[in-house]
Structure 1
Amino acid sequence: MLSLHSVNNDCFIPNWQTPLEKIPWNVLVIVLEGKVDYMINNKRLILEPGDIMFIPESSYRTGKNHNHTLHQKYTVLFHLTKEMRDIPEFLTMDDFTKLQSKNFNYIKHRAEKLFMEIRGNNTCNTFICDGILQELLGSIGRELQSSQVNPMKLKYAQTIQRYIVEHYREAIDINQLAKLIHRSPNYTIEVFKEITGYTPIQYIHHLRIMEGCSLLLATDMTIDNLSNYLGYYDASYFSRTFKKFISMSPKEYRNQESTVSSSEFV
């Protein structure tokens, strides 16, 4: 299982550096802007915007700003037990893994969500954060294996995915997505599911429901308003879809958290 320790947003810190040490966690680094110098197990590398690096626990690591310039990045620190099923291969390796992600907007979006969620005070935040982290690691693992996938299929799926991530709260139909890659609707569904494991519609629902979980805990939006905001325009359909993904209704999800929070003061 995963055990999340912390999520940091290093945002243009002057004279940033981290000393040479044997790190007690696994570290996921996601670089947004600028460049970063790292030395990992006596190997030097420079990370640039769009780079993702996984540093396994017990590695020797040091880092600093590249040529005294500033940078912005997310770092995610976590523990991992090997008993997890279907674990991405890169998480089992003893050396670091570096990737220039073709799905970086999506990775950035999920890292931002993880950074915000871990700062919440609600009990369910831990559950949500573990899910986001697992999704992030799984997406990276899938992309690392994508060299075995037909490059054109991968390009099609990435085009569709980028569009969905940017527009998932809007009304999107399969014909609209098919036009993006100039292929038939049936082919669009098949190639996206082959690469991502989701149909386009399942992926849209997934992003909306994860956003809904956050908003239920962080805001006092009504279910009707939340439904409209997420693009459902029918509160009953939103509730049914939410329950299908989370195994409880939006109201039950919010009330359960309220009950837990109130009990802390009894």
Structure 2
Amino acid sequence: MRLHIEGIRHDAGTVQWYEEAERESPVWTLILVGYGKCLYRVEGEKLLLEKGDLALIPDHTVFYGKTIPSVSHEKYVVTFTHEDGASLLPLLGSPRWTRLRTGKYELLLSRMQTMKEQWTERHPYYRPMCQALLLEMLAHMNREADEGAHASIKHRHAELMKTYIQNHYREKVTKEHLGAVIEKSPNHAAVLFREVTGQTIGDYVHAMRLKTAVYLLRHSQRTIADIADYLGYCDASYFHRIFKRETGRSPSAYVRDREPAPQ
């Protein structure tokens, strides 16, 4: 199987946007919505996409997409071609478009953001990096599509656990806490969380902490040690190590780019 990426685009805000594809178009289109809503019409069918929606539109499909007046949205769009993709990923053999609400939203959004950065910055080996990330995303989408309706209860439980983490990520979060949230055993909660989100509980907590850390490093006047303590890292050196491992940059690099304090 071979993937060839034609382009990667990021749309955000309320700027008017419109795109269309004709029957002759040889590219597939993968869309992930980060927030808000946008509208597509695919072969005459209305397709309203919202936060967490993944859509895959086959080649040689007539469609158009546009903003909804006064409604802001964010989405990432990847256009690509493939050779013999259906042998590994059944959705790439379907003549019909596919839309699903992913349970791996945070993971896939992170992958899309990395793809866009690689594609824009043209880092060494950016093409194979983007192809690998696209293949991973398509594999996750195929897996979730196969699970279908059986995944609905799992997704509800996963959303309950994610909400708990979002409210307590600065504290210690364990499988025991999440098991109590969904009234299941701790081991069941841990397995279900990883199955639906693609991340362990610990990885998800760290991701939320580091996302907050990046914001505070850029936009606040707090010290690195203060931010580490605020986010639940008692050891600042450990915070430094895990931050650099996950983001590729040190906390001090973000501080150097920090917005100046208001006068």
Band the TM-score falls in, shorter-chain normalisation: 0.5 to 0.7
1:37-76 alignment, distance < 5 Å: 37-39=40-42, 42-50=43-51, 51-56=53-58, 58-65=59-66, 69=69, 71=71, 72-76=73-77
Alpha-carbon distance change, 137 to 168 in structure 1, aligned in 2, over 3 angstroms: farther
Partner of 1:180: 181
Partner of 2:157: 156
Deviating more after overlay: 47-56 vs 144-153: 144-153
Query: What SS is found at the alignment partner of 1:145?
Result: helix
Partner of 1:36: 39
* CA displacement, residues 5-33 of structure 1 (integer Å, 9 cap, x when unaligned): 2222154345x533443445432234544
Query: What SS is found at the alignment partner of 2:184?
Result: coil
1:34–1:70 Cα contact (<8 Å) kept: no
Partner of 1:201: 202
Q: Is 1:189 matched with 2:190?
A: yes
State how far apart, in whole Å, the 1-side matches of 2:212 and 2:89 are: 27
1:28–1:77 Cα contact (<8 Å) kept: yes
State how far apart, in whole Å, the 2-side matches of 1:23 and 1:214 are: 40
TM-score normalized by the length of structure 1: 0.61
2:108–2:137 Cα contact (<8 Å) kept: no
2:55–2:97 Cα contact (<8 Å) kept: yes
State how far apart, in whole Å, the 2-side matches of 1:138 and 1:69 are: 34
Write the letter of the residue equivalent to 1:8.
Answer: H
Write the letter of the residue equivalent to 2:171.
Answer: A
1:74–1:111 Cα contact (<8 Å) kept: no
1:107–1:136 Cα contact (<8 Å) kept: no
Identity of aligned residues (%): 21
Deviating more after overlay: 234-243 vs 169-178: 234-243
Query: What SS is found at the alignment partner of 1:232?
Result: coil
TM-score normalized by the length of structure 2: 0.62
1:206 Cα deviation from its structure 2 partner:
5.2
Query: What SS is found at the alignment partner of 1:171?
Result: coil
Q: How many residues align?
A: 242
Write the letter of the residue equivalent to 2:39.
Answer: V
2:6–2:80 Cα contact (<8 Å) kept: yes
Write the letter of the residue equivalent to 2:153.
Answer: M
When the two chains are superposed, the root-mean-square deviation of aligned CA atoms in Å is: 5.0
* CA displacement, residues 128-164 of structure 1 (integer Å, 9 cap, x when unaligned): x837656654543343233264643342223223444
1:38–1:63 Cα contact (<8 Å) kept: yes
State how far apart, in whole Å, the 1-side matches of 2:15 and 2:233 are: 41
1:63 Cα deviation from its structure 2 partner:
1.4
Partner of 1:123: 123
Partner of 2:259: none
1:53 Cα deviation from its structure 2 partner:
1.5
Query: What SS is found at the alignment partner of 1:90?
Result: helix
